[in-house]
Amino acid sequence: MNPVFVQRLRQAMDDPDAMACRIVYRCESGRVTERVVSPIRFEGPRVLALCLGSEEPRGFRLSAIEEVQLVRAESVLCSEESVTLLEVRWHGKRS
């Protein structure tokens, strides 16, 4: 595993409100995918992260991560104000 990738994942873990990671990941079948994740912790040879696309926790093998880019969380997450506006639009009320 590239130590720069580990450093970037750790940066996002240390400040999850400000940072997330865009990763390029090769799954066991060989298919390459790009994911935006909020890393939570390292677990042996894996990183446990919230996959922001599926909104599910996922484990990613560190050896299968081919690229890690830090991204500002505000560019990949909805603000509270945006969520409220969407709720009003979808449900016609504020929660």
Q: Which CATH number fits domain 3-91: 2.30.30.520, 3.40.630.30, 3.40.640.10, 3.40.50.300?
A: 2.30.30.520
Q: What pTM was estimated for this model as a whole?
A: 0.78
Contacts of 66 by beta carbon, 8 Å cutoff, 6+ apart:
23, 24, 25, 26, 32
Q: So where are the chain's domains?
A: 3-91
Give pLDDT tens digits along the chain (95 positions): 789 999 999 999 999 989 999 999 999 999 999 999 999 999 999 999 999 888 889 999 999 999 999 999 888 865 555 556 556 666 665 54
Q: What are phi and psi of 77, to 5 degrees?
A: -115, 150
- Judge contact between 3 and 40, C-beta under 8 A: no
* CA 19 – CA 64 distance, rounded (Å): 21
